[in-house]
C-alpha cells in the first residue's frame, strides 16, 4: 500500500487520508451491514482514530445501537450518503470500499457468517466466525 492511504465519498466532497498503517480487514455479513451497504456484506478496515484525517468536505453523523449493546457513531457524506466509517470505543472501522485504491485489500476475517448469502464464497484458510467474534 502507498502511504498515506487516501479515499473519499462517492461524490467527492468529503476526502480523507490515513497517515499510518491500518489494521486488519474484516468482512461482516450481518443484517445491519447488508442493509447499510445495500449489498451482501460490509468491509471494515481497522484504523487508529489518531491516523484518520478528514482533509476536505463536511460529514454528518448519527448514533446507532449495535446488537452487542455498544453504541457506534456512523459518519457519512450528507450530499451523496456514502458511509465513510463507524467509530466506537474500539476505534474506527473504515468502510474500505471508500479508499481510492482498493486493489491491495485482502480480508483476513469474516464475521456473522450465519447471515452470509449462500452465493458468497469464503476462501479456504481465512478465519471466520458465525457471529460477532
Ligand atoms: Zn459525497
Ligand atoms: Zn456487520
Distance from the CA of 125 to the center of ligand 1, in angstroms?
36
pTM to 2 decimal places: 0.93
The β-bridge partners of 92 are: 47, 87
User: Which pLDDT tens digit goes with each residue over 77-124?
Assistant: 999 999 999 999 999 999 999 999 999 999 999 999 999 999 999 999
Distance from the CA of 2 to the center of ligand 2, in angstroms?
27
Annotated domain spans of the chain? 5-117
What's the Cα-to-Cα distance from 90 to each of 46, 58, 72, 87, 124, rounded to whole Å?
9, 23, 9, 8, 28
Rounded CA gap, 47 and 57, in Å?
20
From the centroid of its chain, how far is CA 84?
7
The β-bridge partners of 45 are: 25, 94
Rounded CA gap, 122 and 128, in Å?
8
Q: What residues sit around ligand 1, an ion, with C-beta below 5 angstroms?
A: 9, 11, 13, 77, 79-80
Ligand minimally distant from the alpha carbon of residue 32: 2
Characterize the bridge pairing of strands 83-88 and 71-76: antiparallel
Summary mean pLDDT of the chain = 95
Q: Does the domain formed by 5-117 have CATH 2.170.150.70?
A: yes
Question: Cell 450481518 sits at which residue?
Answer: 30
Characterize the bridge pairing of strands 52-56 and 42-47: unpaired
Amino acid at each position: 500500500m502507498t502511504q498515506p492511504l487516501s479515499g473519499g465519498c462517492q461524490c467527492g466532497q468529503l476526502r480523507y487520508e490515513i497517515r499510518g498503517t491500518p489494521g486488519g480487514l474484516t468482512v461482516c455479513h450481518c443484517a445491519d451491514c447488508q442493509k447499510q451497504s445495500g449489498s451482501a456484506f460490509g468491509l471494515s478496515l481497522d484504523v487508529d482514530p489518531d491516523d484518520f484525517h478528514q482533509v476536505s468536505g463536511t460529514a454528518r453523523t448519527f448514533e446507532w445501537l449495535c446488537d452487542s449493546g455498544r453504541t457506534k457513531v456512523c459518519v457519512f457524506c450528507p450530499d451523496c450518503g456514502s458511509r465513510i466509517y463507524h467509530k466506537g470505543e474500539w476505534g474506527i472501522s473504515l468502510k474500505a470500499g471508500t479508499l481510492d485504491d482498493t486493489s491491495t485489500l485482502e480480508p483476513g476475517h469474516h464475521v456473522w457468517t450465519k447471515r452470509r448469502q449462500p452465493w458468497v464464497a469464503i476462501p479456504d484458510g481465512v478465519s471466520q466466525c458465525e457471529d460477532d467474534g
